[in-house]
Structure 1
Amino acid sequence: MDTDASGSGGWRFAQCFGDKGEVEDITEADIISTVEFDSTGNYLATGDKGGRVVLFERNEMKKGCEYKFYTEFQSHEPEFDYLKSLEIEEKINKIKWCKRQNAAHFLLSTNDKTIKLWKVFEKSLRIVSESNLAEGQRPIPPPTHQSQLKLPRMQQQDNIVAAVPRKVYSNAHAYHIHSISVNSDQETYISADDLRINLWNLNISDQSFNIVDIKPANMEELTEVITAAEFHPTQCNVFMYSSSKSNIKLADMREAALCDRHTKIFEEEEDPTNRSFFSEIISSISDVKFSHDGRYILSRDYLSLKIWDVNMDSKPVKTIPIHDHLRGKLCDLYENDCIFDKFECIWGGDDRHVLTGSYHNYFRIYDTDTLSDVVLQADKSAFKAKKIGGPLPGNKLGAAKNGRPGGLRENMALDTLDFNKKILHASWHPRENTIAASVH
């Protein structure tokens, strides 16, 4: 999706990658599990459940927003843990780009157990064009005298994009890794599973430092798990992590080697009158993100987005309901496991807009100042409409500029939602209003 060129402030569908038809036999391995722009916005990475990473490159030949295929590589393979009799999926949980230092790209990818640092670079293939036994394709008889000997000649044949794993960081997590975050110093990063957060040096793959450990001595006393973790965008000693108990903890690595004692905790007291069987599940935070300037924190739970001021931990500055109409359907959503879906939340490049997904391939963009919102649908019908020159769903049914409910917002509240279609993962271009959303 990119901003509508008409200047109306709307959005328009720009491009669709992957299968564009109504194909029923899409395999589980083809479902995208993470999507991430690099710091320049010129490259886009996607990871899927089959362990593949696909990179796209901005097409500079085109005027508008268009990306073209750059390269694809198999990042992770399925494994089996014989000690625990557990299958380890190849699914890519997260991809994070490292800032570019030279002509090569470096990015981290992780499945449940192993993190890899990939180097992606362009390489020229050379072949022997002339030797003592051949001239190009034509064979020649072996030389009979030393004066007939000549040095073989090389000739460039092609340029290819190669991907090699520079480092493999393994065996450091007993539980499933769900978050990785590169530090602003570009030398270290953190990886988080349900109970622990580890600090790594990018250049050292055989040791990491455990900086958060919430595992109780007796696992029967376990009451919460870590759900997401992220480094501060500019202060290399500060990071935060969220928990299933609806709180966000800010930690400072200068205070202690083990950051179990948080510097700040962002938590909102629950209204006892709203308490129900599902309260704990829907209040669990699925994603947290610092704003680009580090002043605000965006968090997503099942039904809402919250914006916190880093300097005010008593309550969120703003609470934005995402799909309040689902409150009456929590029983059904529990039955079909959708209540456990982990939606991501994203800041726009200007820190003035936030985005998160919903069901039926709807997603919402909010202006943090006015709280006016736009409801959009990333559906294959948008691709078809563009192809045949028809109206685009986003333009035809999008929210009105003055904030009156548009067609899509009304459709979103209807009973006809398809809960198998959902937008869990998205990424916002760092310098322009372009969004990449993965359609489930």
Structure 2
Amino acid sequence: MKTKKPVNSKIFVLDTNVILHDHTCIYQFKDNDIIIPLTVLEELDKFKRGNDPINFQAREFVRILDGIVGEKLFNGGIQLGEGLGKLIIATGKPFTDAMKQSFKEDIPDHRILAVAEFIKNEHADRSTILVSKDINLRMKAKSLGLMSEDYQNDKIKDPQVFEKSITELESYEDQLIERLYDEGSIAIADSSLKEKPVPNEYFILKGNKSSVLARFDSNSQRVVRVEKKVAYGIKPRNAEQTFSLNSLLNPDIKLVSLTGKAGTGKTLLALAAALEQNKQYEQILLARPIVALSNRDLGYLPGDATEKISPYMQPLFDNLSVIKHAFNPRSQEYQKIEELLKEERLIITPLAYIRGRSLSNAFFIVDEAQNLTPHEIKTIITRAGEGTKMVFTGDMQQIDSPYLDMKSNGLAYMTDKMRSQDLFSHVNLVKGERSYLAELASDLL
């Protein structure tokens, strides 16, 4: 395994969950060498069958590995490409005395640690780092004196990027506020804004006598006044909700990210906006990823497939119920919802049932998007056909996946990468509107 490398070149030992998170991970370590313990391949073999994202990742990685397989993969390694390091498959290594004293069980995690410790001792002149998305395994590695870290490739630098959606300016010129009310917009050059905004950035401009809500339109290079609008009976209760509806109802904005704690109205606003524009879209789709509680899969729940997924979809039906009850059952709006459901133009379904489809002329809402990986977000967005609008909602404080955090989840990643694009808009909702009790609990508990 010994190879001549620059002094600063490192060796990375990969855990199974890194590959299941990103099947292209072996190409993300520059000129450093990569070790994959044989036990990792054994674990991947268990994930090859199925329709979940991790099953897709496992199959794709096996295909990549099949394309570069050779005897050297187990003896010295194979170069991955120009400017990249070598890939090496390491067979199992004996447990050291320190490992035997600390870890009594012979399980895959401990076999991976044994390989990492062996590599570290074999290559004392180079840094050996275990890469895992499992916090517990990283702690075990550090207890043995091994360097370990999370997979960093798709982590955002600023975990607070999703909070930067609304700029509030005090002491703004009353004259410019009056112009916004009279003319509807002003050129960015005349706006007195010190820094050029990002596309679709929202502003609360406060003068001595008045205030105004505004948005930067990058296409026209103008600051545009934002008016309060009602969407299918749902009225915005604060500036954040007003900005959200502005994005959701704007046909030029094809991708919207709404973040905020529970009770801020993210999903409700998205659904109301979709119903308001039902004539413009052939179908309205509401989906959410299924993340089973207490690490129990759907098989644990009683009933058939429909009955198993029903509890996970209930929050979406609850939001629809709120909108329906804003109208009389005999009203045209109420009947329209019933008609959309009957004709399957309004569909509420698990996200897994949507994957693989090409979505054209649809209003697609993905709830609980903080539980998606960056790769899953990309897979979903690349399914968008002509005339489709996509809305992702989520709460960064309620990430249920054990291998995602505020820096690595797909919603934060998408917001970070897309915030400079003309067709993208992001709003972070802070004020809860569900009830005073819900707001108090969200803040204090």
User: Taking structure 2 as the reference length, what is the TM-score of the superposition?
Assistant: 0.27
More helix by share: 2
More strand by share: 1
User: Taking structure 1 as the reference length, what is the TM-score of the superposition?
Assistant: 0.27
Greater length-normalized contact order (CA 8 Å, ≥ 6 residues apart) = 2
